[in-house]
A and B are shown apart, each in its own frame.
Chain A
């Protein structure tokens, strides 16, 4: 054999298997395609599904970005980024606009994605019907026959108990009027970005051995009621670091006295704005009180 090592960790036959799965998933948007998930050198819950999809997609020319809840600098994001630097030797970046391939956990970047980019989601539980129907044989049949009444039972229950649809993460969507899909636990604030997105969106669930996908410009509709329409909500505040009012914010508790601040969950977005001179309430050297 002339190949000394396998590019991006997985052997070629595994990559071929996953790529076939990805093509099938792209051909049937929103449909969960089973694949033979491999053991990866990290525990489940650390994004083994996303890592396998990333490994299958990576080419040497790629520029990789990895985020965890919007941040490039968490342990999880850093370890996955290092993993691919070592096994594939690809270039890495923290800038959304420079990346050709972005692996993400629980967020869609604030900066608009463009054609040619691939966004790969880490997915814990891909089955949106699991909440009320634990039997896999039954949920597969429900997808096959488009029996999605149960999804609305879940939303009904939300309104009955909380007065509004309280589901704020992993908000269920219908893809191209056909399959109901769990978009992974992104905040529902991000849901509008799922639809009509120029990038390819791939969803990998390692423990559950499922891949689903949204090809570019796929129509994605949020499930709701006529009298309780979908609302992409965020904290009603501005970023205390960069002053952004349109980005998704994390709330950070600063001291025991209940002091708190809001900052962009997308660290690259926030840093880019600050570099461009925007400043928030608590920005160092800014207009902090």
Chain B
């Protein structure tokens, strides 16, 4: 479902004397349907960079990122937008939403974008919020005012609203209490069971051990840095 070959990435900082920072070289990785692969490596090794390249907001210097047959490294913006709409989900660490939009609408938005009717989309969103123990009194409020843990659960609910065949998870269990951590791990297991291909970053080693089928250490793709 996801296959990465010979991927490299560098940043050119034009406004800092044109400094070129090489962050990835020769990255390769493949995830089958129903499989969860954890990215590991020290902080700064390039886990988040790799994930963003798969998501498409970081451009590849060279190589291939095949997601459901589309090479994200070469795809047009329009193709990536379509990919994100129906095939590739992303639970990021940060909740980025239009202020004032009620939580139930934030979670329903991916479904509405797919053309699902308002009532059905809201119902599914509310089901997920309930599963993730977001109190009902918060559903009509904007999540911008929520605590870190609540925001993260809203983010997770939105990421799991549609059964994407490929899903990226960036620290999905960080800052969650034991109960909600269990809920999220259950959602991940269910996604695997329905055949989704998952890539995750988990600092929570126990969680990683529970859901990841294998780990890929991105340090192997990190070019040696000049001191």
Per the CB under 8 Å rule, do A and B touch in the complex?
no
Taking Cβ atoms with an 8 Å cutoff, the residues of B that contact A are none
